[in-house]
Amino acid sequence: MPCLNLSLARVLIHLVFSTKNRDPLIPAALHGELHAYIGTVLHHLDCLSLRVGGTDDHVHILYALARTRALATVTEKVKTASSKWMKRHGVTALAWQTGYGAFSVSEVDARSACRYIEHQATHHARCSYQEEFRGFLRRSHVDCDERYVWE
């Protein structure tokens, strides 16, 4: 029997990025459509979207990274496509921050991450985007110079 050379992977990514300067430019009325559109973009990149959510100034995405795609490439394509989508829907001032945060999520923690993303409005009633992002960095042991994080 021939030996099959298969490459298999399941890498879950929690991707977070905000609007430039955290301007509150994402209208609540567009949240659902924007999040669905981001899921479609990921599908076209062979990435499985598990949950997309956010608030008026940032987006959270939990997805399975396709084994043939680079994280930076997927992020760039999602941000570019969603920015164009927002402009087509009348939000012409929207621009995403240059950077992003991407954090690995274990399969065991995927359900918890989905719930976290679903409840962004409640979470941000008591915690700012900056506080949230700092928490992600701390828990993931990522050192950064904040002079270069908040644009």
- Does 73 reside within a domain? yes
CA 61 – CA 9 distance, rounded (Å): 19
Q: Which domain holds residue 15?
A: 11-148
pLDDT of the residue at 136: 72
- Does 135 reside within a domain? yes
- Does 2 reside within a domain? no
* Residue 61, SS3 per DSSP: strand
pLDDT of the residue at 150: 60
- Does 5 reside within a domain? no
CA atoms within 13 A on the CB side of 40: 9
Q: Looking at this protein, which amino acid is placed at residue 38?
A: I
CA 42 – CA 134 distance, rounded (Å): 26
Question: Residue 122 sits in a domain of what CATH number?
Answer: 3.30.70.1290
Record the pTM: 0.86
- Does 136 reside within a domain? yes
- Does 1 reside within a domain? no
Q: Looking at residues 4-9, what average pLDDT do you find?
A: 74
- Does 50 reside within a domain? yes
CA 96 – CA 109 distance, rounded (Å): 27
What is the number of structural domains in the chain?
1
Q: In this predicted model, what pLDDT tens digit does every residue of 13-27 receive, in sequence order?
A: 999 999 999 899 999
